[in-house]
Amino acid sequence: MLRWTITFIIIALIAGILGFGGIAGASAGIAKILFFIFIVLFVLSLLRGLLARK
């Protein structure tokens, strides 16, 4: 589960850097959407991992 969490946060950071930094101006909207999707998946994965321990 921790592996998925780390994967989601890395993908979100890459999407944020590419979209928000101006490197890929045309895909800024897509990067923002992906950023928030992966942040939500990161939080859900983190919560699921914490609940699975109990």
Res. 11: pLDDT tops 80: no
Percent of the chain with pLDDT over 90: 0
Can you give the residue ranges of every domain in the chain? 2-53
Can you say how many angstroms the Cα of residue 21 is from the centroid of all Cα atoms in its chain?
16
Q: What is the DSSP string of 3-47?
A: HHHHHHHHHHHHHHHHHHSSTTGGGHHHHHHHHHHHHHHHHHHHH
**For 24-42, what is the mean pLDDT?**
73
Predicted TM-score (pTM) of this structure: 0.51
Matching residue, tokens 């999707």:
37
